[in-house]
Amino acid sequence: MEFFRDTNVDFMKYRRFWIVVSLALVAVGVFMVFIHRRLNVGIDFTGGTQLILRFRERPDVDRLRSILEQAGVGEAQIQRLGADEEHEVIVRTPIQEGTEEGSAGRVLRALEAAYSAGAGSIDLNQRGVDALTAQLLAADPDGRRATEGEAAARAHYEQVAEAILAVRREHGLITSWDQLAGVEGVSAQTVSWLGQDTRLGGFAVLSSENVGPQVGAELRRKGLMAVAWSLVGMLIYIWIRFELRFGVGAIMATVHDVLVTLGLFTLAGFEFNLTTIAAFLTLIGYSVNDTVVVFDRVRENLRKRPGEDMIAVMNKSINQTLSRTILTGGTTILACAALIILGGEVLRGFAFILTVGVIVGTYSSIYVASPFTLLWEQIFGARRRRRSAGAPTSPAKPAARAGGAAQAPPSRPSRGGRRAAR
Amino acid sequence: MNRSMMWRGLLILAVVLGSAIRLYPPKEEIKLGLDLQGGMHLVLRVNTEDALRAEADKDMERLRQEAQSQGVPGVVVRRVADAAFEASGVAVDKEATIAKIVADQLPGWDWQRRGEQLAFTMTPQNEREIRDLSVNQALQTIRNRIDEFGVAEPLIQRQGLNSDRIVVQLPGIDDPERVKGLIKNTAFLELRLVDHPREGGGAESREAILAHYGGSLPDNVEILTGERRDRAGRTTGVQYYAVEKRQVVTGRDLKTARQGLGQFNEPIVNFTLTAEGGRIFGDATGANVGRGLAIVLDGKVQSAPRINERINDRGQIEGGFTAQEAEDLATVLRSGALPAGITYLEERTVGPSLGQDSIRKGINAGAVAAMLTVLSMFAVYKRTGFNAVAALLVNVIILFGGLAYFGATLTLPGIAGIVLTVGMAFDANVLVFERIREELRAGRTVKSAVEAGYTKALSSILDSNITTLIAALFLFQFGTGPVRGFAVTLSIGIGATLFAGVFFSRWLFDVMLARTRVERLSI
C-alpha cells in the first residue's frame, strides 16, 4: 500500500484563506479559555482539597452537598466520576481562608458521621493494617496468644490483617462481609468476630490531595515557565539549525496548536492540572517535530535549486513529505485513541490533548507553518532575495538564476502582481 | 559478513541482552511512582520562627538573670518580634556591664540604645544558623518517627539546600491520617509540680483556682487544662490545674519510652530518664512527697498523680489511649520533640486500588497501541515491515531496561509517554522507508537506495527528536513528581527510538542485503 505517490497538490494556493481560518480557530480557543472562563482548573494551580471517594451504594450528590454545608464546608464541588456502577465521587473544596492545611479532615469527619457511623471498633474501609492488627491481637479470635505467645500471635494477625485489607486494595472498598468469607488465611472465627466487632464503613477514600496556596502559586509559575522556556528553546534550536524565517513559522504553528487544543480542551471540560501541562509540552514537541520534517525537506530542496520560488519549493516539500505526515500522524492518533478509550479516567484528559493535538499539529505544519514562513519571507526577506539574485557563485548557478529571476517577481508582494501570478 | 556489521551486531546484542537482563524480574526492577503503587507524598514546612522565638526567649531570660547577678537588677525584658527583644530599666552607666554580658554569653545578638530601651536583634548569621539547625533537627526527628513504621524505601529529604521545607514520600501507606499526626506531633513533654490542688488531681474550674489564690496568680504559676476521664478511660470533661512554670524535667531527659499496660489493663506509656535527668527528678520528687506531679504534653496536662515517695528515674503517662495511640506516643517521645511546629503545604495520598486500576488500563492501552502500530507497519510496508517491528521490539526492551538502569520512576503519565513512544517509534522508520521508496523510484539499486534513505533521513530524525528532548528537559526542570517521571520516560524513549529505529534498523537491513543479491525490495 502506498499513499500519495508523486502528488502535486498546490497547498499554498489558498494559503491566505487558511491563515484566516487558523486565526479564527485560535480566536475561538482564546475566547473559550480567557473570556468565557470555562477552563476547569484543578487544585494543582488553584490550591484546595480534592478527594476521590468510593461508596458502597450509589451516592446522592445533593445529600452529600447538604452534609458538607452543615459541616461548614460550603463551597464544595461534588461530581460523579467514572462509570455509574462504580459509585465514585470527586469532592473539591477551595482553600480555606487563613489555613494552609485544607478541609480534608472536616469533610471526612462529616461524611463518616453520616455514612460510616455505627457500632464496631474500627472501620475496615478506612483504617490500615497496623490498626487492624492491634485490634485482632487484643481480641484474639483465633486464640493464638495463649498457644503461641505474644510475638507469634502478632505476626499471625498481621498476615490476617494484610489478607483482609488486600480485598479492599483490590476493589477499592469492601462492600459486604461475604467478600471476606473466602479469603485465604482468614479463619471462620475471625470473620465472625469481624462481623460483630468491626464495621464496614459506607465509603473509602481512593485518593486525597491537598495543595496549600503557597504551593499552588508555585506550581502555576513553574507550569508557565516550563511552557514558555520550551517554546523559546525550540525557537532558538530551529533558528540555529535552519533560519529565522523557519523558526517563526514553526513557532506560529505551535502557538496555534496549543491555543486551538486548549480551546477544545476547555469545551470538553477536562481538568487542567500538572499532567495536562505535561501533555501540552508533549504536544508542542510533536508539533515542532512535524513542522521540522517539512522544513528539513524545504532546506534540502533549496540547497539543490537555490533560486527557486519559495512557494513552489514549499509545495514540493509538503507533497514529498505528505506520505510520512499522514502515516506518522495516523499511527500516533491510533495510539492516542487507544489511550482515550482504554486508558481510564485519570489519563483521559492527557490522551485527549495528544489526539486533538496531533490532528491540529498535522494541519498546522501544512497550513500555518509554511504560510507564515512565506509571509515573513515576503515582509522581511527582501535583503536575502537581493543577495541571492545578484551574487555570483558557481557556473551552474547562472542557469538556475535565470530561471529563478524569471520566477522571483511573482512572489514579491505587490497589489497588481498578486493577481497576475496566481 | 563484513567487520563493521559484526561489531555493530555485537554492540546491539550487548545492549539488548543487557537491557533484558537488567529488567528481570520486572516487578522489582522498575520503580513505580506513588500514583501507581499507592502511597503518600507530603511537603511540609518547618515553622522556623518557632525556633527563633524559643531561642530569643531563652537568651533574653538569660540576659535578665545575668544582669541581676552582676548588679543590674530590675531589668525588664520583652520580646517584640520573632528574633528581637527590648530590655528596659538599664541606666546608661550600667551599659558596660550589659555589653560584657552580651559579648561573653550572647554572641548572636546585636544591640543599640533607643531612648529608654536597649533594642536587641539577632544577627543574620545567627538567625540563619538557628533556622538551618531547626530544619535539620526536624528532619532527623521525622526520620526517626518514620523508621518505626517500617516503610520500604521512604524518602525524607530537605527540598533544596537552604529551604525550610521537607519532602516526605512513603509508598504503600494505607493510613495517612495516622502518619500525618505522627509527624506533626510536637510531643513536648514536661514534668512540673502542681501548686493547686496540691495533692494532685484537678480543680473544677478556672475560677475555683483563682479563688484559691485570692484572685491573681503568683508569677511562678500558670493554669493548664487537662481531660477528666472515667475508669474506662473515656473523656468526661475538663479539669484545671495551677502548675508551676518551672520544668523539673523535659522530654530531653528521656532515656526511653515504651507502651505498656496500666493498673486497669489500659494502654499507657512507661518512660525512663537519663542519669542526669533521673538525679534531678529524684531530688525534686524526694523533696515534694505528697504533692501532685503534672505530666504535661504539648501544654496539656495528661495526668497529675500524687508523689508518694521519691522516684528516681521512671514514670508513666496515662491518658485514655488506645493501644495504637500509646504506641504512637511512645514512638514520638523516643524520637525527640520537634524543635518547631510544622505546616503541611502539600499532601497527596493515592490508595493502592486506584494505582492498580491505572496500571491495568495503561497496559491494555499500550498493548492495543502496539498491535495497531504493528498492523499498520505490515499493511503499508509489506515485508519490510518486519524490520520496523523488530526495531519496535528492541525499542521497548531498551526503554524498559533504561528505566530500570537509571532507577527512573514510572508514573502514570509515564505510561502514557510509553504508549506515545510506541506510536511515534514508527516515525523514524517511516522517514527512512519513504526516502528509500523515493530513491528506488529515482532508479537507484536496492543497496544504494537503502543507504541513501538512511543518510538523507537522518537529519530530519535528529532534528525532530532533539526538539522533543528540549521539551522533556524543561518539563524535568520545572516539573514535580509524576511530571518528572514522564519527562524521564520520554527522554529515555527518544534515546531508545534513535538506537532502535536508526542504528539497529540499518544494521538489520545490511545483514539482510548482504546475504543474497536482492533485486527488489518489498516495501
Q: What 8-state DSSP symbol labels residue A96?
A: P
Per-residue pLDDT, A5: 58
User: How far, in Å, CA of A252 to CA of A376, rounded?
Assistant: 11
Residue of A nearest to B488 (CA): A278
- CB contact under 8 Å between B412 and A165, yes or no, is no
Residue with cell 483521559: A348
Residue B144 grid cell: 526517626
A 10 A CB-CB count for A335 gives 30
CB contact under 8 A, B343 and A100: yes
Per-residue pLDDT at A42? 84
In the predicted model, is pLDDT for residue A288 greater than 80? yes
Nearest chain B CA: its distance from A409 CA (Å): 31
Q: What is the pLDDT of residues B405-449, one digit of tens each?
A: 888 888 888 888 887 787 777 888 888 888 888 888 888 888 888
**Neighbouring C-alpha atoms within 13 Å toward the C-beta of A174:** 25
Residue in chain B nearest A47 by alpha carbon: B346
Residues in Cβ contact with B325 at an 8 Å cutoff, skipping those fewer than 6 apart:
B267, B319
* A289/B464 touch (CB, cutoff 8 Å), yes or no: yes
Predicted confidence at residue A99, as pLDDT, reads 63
CB contact under 8 A, A332 and B174: no
Amino acid identity of residue A276, one-letter, is T
A281:B470 CB<8 A: no
Amino acid A7: pLDDT: 65
* pLDDT recorded at residue A417: 38
User: Do B288 and B309 touch, CB atoms closer than 8 A?
Assistant: no
For A347-378, the pLDDT digits (tens) are 888 889 988 998 888 888 888 888 888 877 77
Q: pLDDT digit string (tens) for A188-247?
A: 878 888 888 788 888 888 888 888 888 888 888 888 888 888 888 888 888 888 877 788
Q: Which of A214, A278, A289 is the closest to B483 by Cβ?
A: A278
Beta-ladder partners of B306: B292
Computed over every residue of chain A, the mean pLDDT equals: 78
> In the numeric block, which cell numbers belong to residue B97?
556591664
- What is the grid cell recorded at B143? 526520620
Q: What is the mean pLDDT of residues B455-461?
A: 85
pLDDT digits (tens, 9 = 90+) for B246-277: 778 888 788 888 888 888 778 888 888 888 88
Of B174, B357, B467, nearest to A128 by CB-CB distance is B174
Residue B44, helix vs strand vs coil: strand
Q: What is the largest CA-CA distance in chain B?
A: 114
Whether the predicted pLDDT of A394 surpasses 70: no
Secondary-structure breakdown of chain B: helix, strand, coil percentages, each rounded to the nearest 5: 55, 20, 25
**CB contacts, 8 Å: A230 with chain B:** 470-471, 474-475
> Residue A390: its pLDDT value, please?
53
In angstroms, the CA B69 to CA A291 distance is 82
Query: Do residue B344 and residue A101 have CB atoms under 8 angstroms apart?
Result: yes
Note the pLDDT of residue A1.
Answer: 47
Q: What does the block give as the cell for B462?
A: 535528529
The chain A residue lying nearest B474, using CA atoms, is: A226
> A105, exposed or middle or buried, with CB in 10 Å at 0-12, 13-18, 19+?
middle
Give the pLDDT confidence score for residue A149 in this predicted structure: 78
C-alpha cell at A157: 494477625
E strand map for B94-164: 109-114, 117-122, 155-158
What pLDDT score does A400 carry?
39
DSSP for B311-327? Answer: --SEEEE-SS--HHHHH
Task: Write out chain A residues lying below 8 Å of B480, CB-based.
Answer: 219, 222, 274
Q: How far, in Å, CA of A302 to CA of A308, rounded? A: 7
The CA distance from A86 to A80, in Å, is 10
Cβ of A150 under 8 Å from any chain B Cβ? no
User: Considering chain B, what is the average pLDDT of its residues?
Assistant: 83
What element of type H or E holds B255?
Answer: strand B254-261
pLDDT reported for residue A383: 62
**Does residue A12 contact residue A370 with C-beta atoms inside 8 Å?**
yes
Q: Determine the average pLDDT of the residues in B207-227.
A: 80
Which of A:343-382 have CB within 8 Å of B?
A: 343-344, 346-347, 350-351, 354
Question: Among B23-32, B37-46, B150-159, which stretch is predicted with the lowest mean pLDDT?
Answer: B23-32
B172 CB neighbours in chain A (<8 A) are: none
Q: Cα–Cα distances in Å, from A409 out to A175, A319, A375, A384, A388?
A: 78, 24, 15, 14, 13
User: pTM to 2 decimals?
Assistant: 0.76
Angle between helices B412-441 and A274-304 (to 10 degrees): 10
**Between residues B234 and B259, which one has the greater pLDDT?**
B259
pLDDT for the residue numbered A396: 41
Model confidence band, residue B52 (pLDDT cutoffs 50, 70, 90)? confident
pLDDT for A406 equals 39
Domains in chain B (CATH in brackets) are 3-36+352-515 (1.20.1640.10), 49-127 (3.90.1070), 185-345 (3.30.1360.200)
Is B358 within 8 Å of A275 when comparing Cβ atoms?
no
Question: Region A334-354: what's the mean pLDDT?
Answer: 83
- Residue B156 bridge partners (DSSP): B168
The model's confidence at residue A407, banded by pLDDT at 50, 70 and 90, is: very low
pLDDT interval class at B372 (50, 70, 90): confident
Instruction: Please indicate whether residue A387 or residue A78 has the higher confidence score (pLDDT).
Output: A78
**Residue A382 pLDDT greater than 70, yes or no:** no
Question: B-contacting residues of A 83-112, CB under 8 Å?
Answer: 100-102, 104-105
- CB-CB contact of A164 with A183 (8 Å): yes
Helix H or strand E segment including B149: none
In this complex, do B365 and A1 lie within 8 Å of one another by their Cβ atoms?
Answer: no
Within its chain, how far is the Cα of A131 from the centroid?
Answer: 38
Q: Are A110 and A67 in contact (CB under 8 A)?
A: yes
Confidence of residue B193 (pLDDT cuts 50, 70, 90): confident
- All residues of chain A having their beta carbon less than 8 Å from the beta carbon of residue B349 are 205, 207-209
CB contacts under 8 A, A 162-191 vs B, are: 165, 168-172
Predicted local confidence at residue B177, as pLDDT: 80
Report how far residue A322's alpha carbon sits from residue A325's, in angstroms, rounded to the nearest whole number. 5
Which residue of B179, B478, B521 to mutate against A (max A Cβ within 10 Å)? Answer: B478
What domains are defined for chain A? 15-42+212-380 (1.20.1640.10), 48-210 (no CATH)
Q: Per-residue pLDDT averaged across A123-133, rounded?
A: 78
Q: What are phi and psi of B377, to 5 degrees?
A: -60, -45
Q: Which residue of B has its CA nearest to A284?
A: B471
pLDDT of residue A398: 41
The yes-or-no verdict on residue B219 having pLDDT over 80 is no
Torsion on CA atoms A13, A17, A19, A25, rounded to nearest 10: -140
User: Quick check: A212 and B480 CB within 8 A?
Assistant: no
Contact B361 A354 (CB under 8 A): no
Q: How confident is the model at residue B232, as a pLDDT?
A: 63
Interface test with chain B among A88, A106, A289, by most B beta carbons within 10 Å: A289
Cβ-defined contact of A285 to B472 (cutoff 8 Å) = yes
pLDDT exceeds 70 at position A420: no
Q: Check: CB of residue B56 under 8 Å from CB of residue B83.
A: yes
pLDDT band at B200 (very low <50, low <70, confident <90, very high): low
- Report the C-alpha gap between B382 and B380 in whole angstroms: 6
Cell triple for A154: 502478632
Helix or strand holding residue A22 (H, E): helix A15-30
Residue given cell 520544668 in the structure block: B247
CA–CA separation, A345 vs A81, rounded Å?
A: 8
Residues 285-314 of A with CB under 8 A from B: 285-286, 288-290, 292-293, 296-297, 300
Q: A346 to chain B: nearest residue by CA?
A: B358
Cell, residue B147: 523508621
DSSP state letter for B241: E
ipTM (interface predicted TM): 0.74
Q: Find out whether B287 and B246 touch, Cβ atoms under 8 Å.
A: no
pLDDT at A176 over 70: yes
Q: Sorting pLDDT into bands at 50, 70 and 90, what band is A387?
A: low
Nearest chain A Cα distance for residue B171, angstroms: 13
Of B349, B413, B468, the CB nearest to A208: B349
| Torsion angle, alpha carbons of A55, A58, A62, A64, to 10 | -10
- Closest chain B residue by Cα to residue A126: B175
Here the cell at position A314 is: 514549499
Could B372 and A331 be called an inter-chain contact, meaning their C-beta atoms sit closer than 8 Å? Answer: yes
Nearest beta carbon to residue B379 from set A1, A320, A351: A1
Q: Among B54-63, B227-236, B275-284, B405-414, whose mean pLDDT is lowest?
A: B227-236
Cα angle value A342/A343/A347 (rounded, 5°)? 150
Residue B516: pLDDT over 60:
yes
Cβ pairs bridging A and B (under 8 Å): 257
pLDDT digit string, tens, across residues B99-137: 888 888 888 888 888 888 888 888 899 888 889 888 988
Cis bond leading into A213, ω under 30°? no
CA-CA distance, B273 to B252, in Å (whole number)? Answer: 9
Residue A66 has which C-alpha cell? 447538604
Percentage, residues of chain B above pLDDT 90: 1
Crossing angle, helix B446-478 and helix B505-515, to 10 degrees? 170
